[in-house]
Structure 1
Amino acid sequence: FQTSPLGSLSIPGPLYSVHVLRVGFNTPNPDGTVLADGSVTLVAGGPLTVLVDTGGPWLRPRLPDLLSARGLSLADVTHVVVTHGHSDHAGNVNLFPRATLLVGFDLSRPDGLYLPHGLSRGVPLVLHPGHLEVTPTPGHVRAHVSLLALGTSLGAVAVAGDAFERREDEEEWEALSEEPAEQRRSRRRLVASADVVVPGHGEPFRVVKEWGSGEEEEEEEEEEEEVTSGRGDEAGGGG
């Protein structure tokens, strides 16, 4: 698949708009250490206000201001979707005790009630039918998910966590993956369904559709996994 830079951190939509509040990064140091934090993305405008990933705990002093710049407070967030449980993505979930939380495959309501769903079986979790759904994207870790925002001005936007590190990450993502073959399948499914991808450690990018190149393989994978819009469990409501 081919990609191109998006050149913007916001994608408007008639109902939900997607705003990358903080672009993640991943910078190796000469001594072998890595300075990193995950992207933080807001999906807002409709009846749900969704924060996808919360950054590491070191981002905590800045997070309220990032939301405030969009006219929101911590209490306005109805749903927090954490793509996976690494500290640079899940470090601030305790700031949202009144929100519905999805951390990887764990879905809970504000009172600590955990809810059944089909993500571990490959079934999407629908947050707002026709607009927002969470799809399983295992590989980087087994319990990894991505949020699809449908119907924006640029089409479908996949907030993908570390399914994609950044645009043009082919030289690095496999070394960070628990299950590279599974992650490659997840990446292919995402680019088949998304027009824009928000990666875990870089700026958003467009997916350039090349019909007829790998299309049969993608269709076969989609049939096998049955990960398509509108076939998932529903989990609406806020905290």
Structure 2
Amino acid sequence: MNPENKKCDIIVLFDGYSVNSEQGSQSNCTCTLIKGNKNVIVDTMTAWDGPKLEKAIEENGLKCSDIDYVVCTHGHSDHIGCNYLFQNAIHIVGRCVSKKDVYYNFDFAAGKPYLIDVNIRVIPTPGHTLQDVSVLVSTDKGLYAITGDLFENKDDENLWYRLEVDDAELQRKYRSEMLRHADFIIPGHGPMFPAKYKYDQITI
């Protein structure tokens, strides 16, 4: 097998959640591992989650030093907190691509996908913030979209636009596009679900 065509395994290490509390809300993001020709972590939870994230990666046969890319779908603190664990990786935080003190030029604003390998690409999906990105992974089972807070969870039709968002119309547009093209959605604060679960619903 050509190593560039190595199949990807998608492993949701932790399902995200968000619930109201007396203090405000209690939330953490979904954290996903992609194992393949390139190993990728998408969204690294809060800064207090380092030990459990490191353990989960080791339980899946890798070390933090084996991660080639860290992708944070946007820059909110519950999505970037453990980036420090991955010293060997290229970091994509929203539309910012860097390694150590080197910041690379890449024109996400033009709608270009950032190709990690033949099966993994990062695309701009603004709305929740104007810097949001999603990760698309092609597999034998279909196209997986790791979307961060483009989708809060599978039942968020009456919720997502009531949250603090930078551009609700843009978010609505990219939600619709993702549901048309992806087979599975991994949302920012809930378990993975099949895209067709939501596709026929009126408000997307």
Q: TM-score, normalised by structure 1?
A: 0.78
Structure 1 counterpart of 2:17, one-letter code: F
Structure 1 segments, 4+ long, off by >4 Å, are none
Q: Check the 8 A contact 2:154/2:198 in 1, yes or no.
A: no
Separation in structure 1 between the aligned mates of residue 61 and residue 24 of structure 2, nearest angstrom: 36
Map of 1:155 onto structure 2? 142
Secondary structure at the counterpart of residue 51 of structure 1: strand
> What does residue 128 of structure 2 align with?
140
- Structure of greater relative contact order (alpha carbons < 8 Å, 6+ residues apart): 1
Structure 2 residue 103 is matched with structure 1 residue 114: yes
Q: Is the aligned partner of 1:25 residue 2:13?
A: no
Counterparts of residues 189-208 of structure 1 (less than 5 Å):
189-208=177-196
Match of 1:126 among 85, 95, 115: 115
Contact 1:43 1:49 in 2 (8 A): yes
Contact 1:154 1:196 survives alignment (8 Å)? no
Q: Match of 1:70?
A: 60
Using the size of structure 2 for normalisation, the TM-score is 0.91
Q: What's the Cα RMSD here?
A: 2.0
Q: Distance in 1 between matches of 2:130 and 2:89?
A: 24
Provide the residue aligned with 1:174 in structure 2: 161
Alpha-carbon separation, structure 1, partners of 2:182 and 2:137: 9
Aligned residues of 1:14 and 1:153 also touching (Cα < 8 A): no
Aligned residues: 196
| Identical pairs, percent | 33
Structure 1 residue runs of 5 or longer lacking an equivalent are 1-12, 215-239
- Helix, strand or coil at the partner of 1:139: coil
**CA–CA separation in structure 2 for the residues paired with 1:32 and 1:121:** 40
Which whole-Å CA distance do the structure 2 matches of 1:40 and 1:210 have between them?
22
